[in-house]
Structure 1
Amino acid sequence: MTENNNPLSVEEKENIMTSLLHKEGCWVDWGKACQRLQQGGINSQEIFEGTGLQTSQQNLVIVGAQVYDSLVKGEAQEDLLSYYQGPRSDVLYELRILNHQERLSAAILAKEKQLDVDGAKEIAKAIKHFSHLSQPPTGFTLHPGDAVAYQHWKNARQKKTLADKARLIAEGLKFAHSETARKQIEHLLTEAATSTSTQNAPLLPIYRFESDEQLPYILPVAGTLPLTSSDLENIPIFEKIEPYGILKINKEIDIVSIPSWQVILKAKHPVVIFCQSEDLPKQTTTKSEQLLVVIDLDVKEWNISNYCLVEENGKLKLNWFQSNPDCQILGQLLLILRPKKILDEDNLTQPWQMDD
């Protein structure tokens, strides 16, 4: 709600509303009228309904009128004031971030260069930044034109290509006021034109693992069924050295790498056994293929929700039991992995090709 610091009479309110409705005077008058209504307790929505001026337009002309008043107080020339009485509230609005003295000099510069709202925003930011420097940079003066030229000069120095440098240098020369500032910018142009193009070193091919599953997990291989319980003896537990999972293998043993799925990471003593699909206790396919089976040898307790590795008639088998079996449980089944399906493995090493 708008604070009622200076209440209006009904007659005064209607007169101002009517004036705004008919767009009497110039935009400066509209801004002062909107501000008077708001100070009188009239909110922006009511002003919009009575005059057709949207809230954003009200804010634009109010702030623009305040900047205009600062030009008047700064004893701006009549031709400058007349220039901004035209439809240029948006240009003065961009100068709101400057102090009164900077507003006047920026307004003069914007008029000289016939800048639109984007140009006004650019010079206002450049002048504001320049004012924060402890002293003017070498070759540049306190003139607002030099302030804008310095910003273009600074940006041009950071560009790599001659085309980008040349574009910013041209903008800097457009605004440069002093001869010394012009020489600074021209010197930068000379440097850019005469410097030999050097080949930058290529980017380093740096990658980062984004998830645990992208990390390979190395597992020891006990062998391929048929096996016996003695084949499970002396299966090592690998200890990884972080952060890259380096393994020290002290004995000859076959190993295999699979993704670091969560079920594998939780296992305390995982080992791989290879078998055929018909060796499974429950047939899932009619096709015979070799499967990779991961067993956790640390889990030797029965669980109705899991398959177990047991030894029957001297041979290792996977089985499921409705109750705690009489035979010894040698480990728990963690997962069964089928081989990848790739129609043409050579395609993996060739660049992608797409039909036109």
Structure 2
Amino acid sequence: MAMLSLTSPKLTNPFFQTHQHHQLQLHRHHHQQKMKSVGPISATKIPFLPTPSSSSGELYQPFRPPPSPLPKKYRSLDPAERLDILRNRMGLWHEYAPLIPALANDGFSPPSIEEATGISGVEQNSLIVASQVRDSLLSSSFDPDLLAFFDAGSGADLLYELRLLNAAQRAAAARRVVEQRLDPKGAKELARAVKDFPRRRGDSDWARFSASHPGDCLAYTHFRLSREALSAGDRIAALERAMEAAETEGARKRIEEEMEKAAGGGREGIEESEGAGRVTVPVVRLRYGEVAEATSVALLPVCRAGEGAEGVAAAPGWCRAEGELGVVAAERGWGRWMVLPGWGPVAAVGKGGGVAVEFGDGRVLPWKASIKSGMEEAVLVVADRGRREVAEEDGFYLVAEGEKGELGVESGDKLLEKGVEEALGTVVLVVRPPKEEEDDQLADEDWE
């Protein structure tokens, strides 16, 4: 059989070599003419990039992926076997939780994992986040022996609630969860209190509670909420919860002082006869979104202070819902309305007797001199027009005063001294506008 020659005839042909040399000369000549027509070009020197190396003189090592987060016993398993472990919940939750992101890296989506294992997407996320929180506790000063508490089925839900805390807060909160045997709802409440406590720096009595003790953070939350309570019973109940949560002696002492004050029902700086009751006017500050979250609301006509007694009398006396859609209708047209949560004092106002009066400057109300400097803001005074008789010396009433007959608020004892036995209505609530940083609620003793 004839062998194929690897030698090209063109390479050995003298004529072809001469022709190839001639073509090369023509190409060089054409290139030189083209460069002359373009003109001189400045040469650009490409900088030399040395190969990266470490400071110790070792050769540069390329990037290597981090070690697999999977436990060693799972690394050799194929996806089908990993899905089987998740489906049957084989092992502790924090052992098989890393299988979920590993399957995601293999191309599985949360819906496909849910279809194969029965673990919903929400639960998948909870397991992954809780596993990360647990790993962060292992790398901190947290006692490893306490981690066994979170091995139970609800352990993932407990640790998931601590996800928003920093390392120090997380370790302290987890320790508190173990000590108090909290459920997921209690862990969530604790974590929110710990997260919120530093933001309250500068608030009244904040320094009496300790930021390093999660129980104190939760106690301060209940302590602050007690000042927003609209009844003495709710206030005392909130203070009792604060006392149960407090860890430090300073926090307990401050709560005890407030409990004694709430149980006594008296006002500082006001003389009262033994056993006499006191009529209190709650002062609350609205929070953003509070009306939307309320289970019931009240719709009140609003007057301006300058409209006087005529404005109060002209405000609609009743509002009612009509039809299946509950459309609200008033007895007569009115231009200004206010929607408030259905707080106790507002809900207790007689049907059609409620009216709200807007004051542009809260300092016109009979506050103590020490409080007036902090009231340079608009306030809304809610009054019950069905209770006009000045029957309580300690109550506060809506009146028309001065030559212009502008609306104002006066205490019952001063009205009785003047011989005034009937007012425009009894004040039941004072509402302050919302702020980004909620300040302290006023107490009963802040009135004159």
- What's the TM-score once normalised by structure 1's chain length? 0.53
| Structure 1 residue aligned with 2:120 | 54
RMSD over aligned Cα atoms: 3.4
1:35 CA drift (Å) = 2.1
Identify which of 176, 181, 192 aligns with 1:114.
181
Alignment-mate amino acid for residue 37 of structure 1: L
Q: CA deviation at 1:11?
A: 5.3
Q: 1:16 matched to which residue of 2? A: 82
Please say if 1:169 is aligned against 2:239. Answer: yes
**Matched residue, 1:187:** 257
Name the CA shift for 1:213/1:123 in 2 (closer, same or farther; >3 Å): closer
Change (3 A) 1:51 1:106: same
CA distance in 2, matches of 1:84, 1:212: 57
Unaligned runs of 5+ in 1: 217-241, 244-356
Structure 1 residues 12 and 130: alpha-carbon distance in aligned structure 2, compared to 1, 3 A threshold: same
Match of 1:101 among 165, 168, 173: 168
* Structure 2 counterpart of 1:27: 93
Query: Who is 2:362 aligned against?
Result: none
The match for 2:208 is 139
Q: In the TM superposition, what whole-angstrom CA distance separates every residue of 1:282-319 from its partner, at most 9, and x where no partner exists?
A: xxxxxxxxxxxxxxxxxxxxxxxxxxxxxxxxxxxxxx
Shift of 1:215: 4.7
Is the Cα–Cα contact under 8 Å of residues 31 and 63 in structure 1 kept in the other structure?
no
Distance 1:201 1:154, change over 3 A: closer
2-side partners of 1:212 and 1:106: how far apart?
A: 52
Q: CA deviation at 1:139?
A: 1.2
Is 1:73 equivalent to 2:142 in the alignment?
Answer: no
| 1:85 paired to 2:151 | yes
Q: CA deviation at 1:89?
A: 1.1
Structure 1 residues 133 and 40: CA distance shift in structure 2, 3 A: farther
Distance 1:176 1:45 in 2: 44
Q: Distance in 2 between matches of 1:133 and 1:86?
A: 35
Distance (Å, rounded) in 1 between the aligned partners of 2:253 and 2:330: 58
- Kindly state the Cα deviation for residue 65 of structure 1 after the two structures are TM-superposed: 1.0
Cα deviation, residue 205, structure 1: 6.8
Deviation at 1:159, TM superposition (A): 1.2
Contact preservation (8 Å) 1:95, 1:120: yes
Query: Between the two proteins, what is the percent identity of the paired residues?
Result: 31
Unaligned runs of 5+ in 2: 1-65, 267-276, 283-297, 303-314, 320-327, 337-448
| Greater mean deviation of Cα atoms: 139-148 or 33-42 | 33-42
Distance 1:39 1:173 in 2: 49
CA distance in 2, matches of 1:55, 1:205: 48
Q: CA separation in 2, counterparts of 1:25 and 1:140? A: 42
**Aligned AA (1:111):** V
Provide TM-score, normalisation by structure 2: 0.43
In the alignment, the residues of structure 2 paired with residue 153 and residue 213 of structure 1 have an alpha-carbon distance, to the nearest angstrom, of 43
Structure 1 segment 154-165 matched on structure 2, within 5 A: 154-165=224-235
Residue 56 of structure 1: how far off its partner (Å): 1.6
Q: For residue 162 of structure 1, what is the amino acid of its counterpart?
A: A
Instruction: Measure how far apart 1:54 and its partner are.
Output: 1.4
**CA distance in structure 1 between the aligned counterparts of 2:206 and 2:232, rounded to whole angstroms:** 24
1:129 to 167, 191, 196: 196
Matches of 2:151 and 2:237, distance apart in 1: 32
In structure 2, how many angstroms separate the alpha carbons of the residues matched to 1:194 and 1:96? 42
- Quote the offset at 1:200 in angstroms: 4.7
Q: Give the residue type in structure 1 aligned to 2:228.
A: Q
Count of paired positions: 213
* Alignment deviations for residues 29-77 of structure 1 (CA, whole Å, 9 cap, x no partner): 2322112222332101111122121112111111111111111111421
Residue 138 (structure 1) shift? 2.6
Specify whether residues 54 and 185 from structure 1 end up closer, same or farther in structure 2 by C-alpha distance, changes over 3 A only. same
4+ aligned runs moved over 6 Å, structure 1: 201-205, 208-213
Q: Tell me, yes or no, if the aligned pair for 2:138 and 2:144 is still in contact at 8 Å.
A: no
Instruction: Between the two structures, name the one with larger relative contact order (CA 8 Å, sep ≥ 6).
Output: 2
2: CA distance between counterparts of 1:184 and 1:201?
24
